[in-house]
């Protein structure tokens, strides 16, 4: 599976997850009333956003994040940094 297909698949799965959560009984119990998409309580850490932008190859987002204090040494749960992930993706593509 190509990197673009994996990214699209991951985005689709995440959107489905959020949709299921919004409709879940647990969310309704916690919130009392349905929330608009702009007021969702799920927040991603800046490190998570940075790694996702790097893996997606979103150069503009990566540059913006770095200018705004993103830590270039952020690692995922496996200890891989953005540089590891980008080099791994390149080796898969070639």
Give me the residue spans of the domains in the chain. 1-32, 34-93
Q: What is the pLDDT of residue 67?
A: 93
Q: Which range among 4-13, 54-63, 69-78 shows the weakest confidence by mean pLDDT?
A: 4-13
Q: What is the pLDDT of residue 4?
A: 63
Looking at CATH, the fold of the domain delimited by 34-93 is given as 1.25.40
Cβ-based neighbour number of residue 50 at 10 Å: 23
Q: Tens of pLDDT along 34-46?
A: 556 666 677 788 8
On the question of pLDDT at 14 being above 90, the answer is: no
C-beta of residue 49 within 8 angstroms of C-beta of residue 76: no
Binned at pLDDT 50, 70 and 90, residue 94 comes out as: very low
Instruction: Return d(Cα 4, Cα 72) in angstroms, integer.
Output: 23
């Amino acid at each position: 599976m190509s990197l673009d297909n994996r990214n699209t698949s991951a985005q689709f799965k995440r959107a489905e997850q959020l949709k299921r959560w919004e409709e879940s009984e647990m969310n309704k119990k916690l919130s009392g009333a349905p929330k608009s998409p702009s007021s969702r309580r799920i927040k991603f850490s800046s490190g998570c956003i940075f790694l996702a932008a790097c893996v997606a190859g979103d150069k503009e987002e990566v540059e913006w994040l770095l200018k705004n204090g993103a830590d270039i040494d952020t690692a995922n749960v496996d200890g891989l940094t953005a540089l590891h992930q980008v080099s791994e993706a390149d080796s898969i593509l070639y």
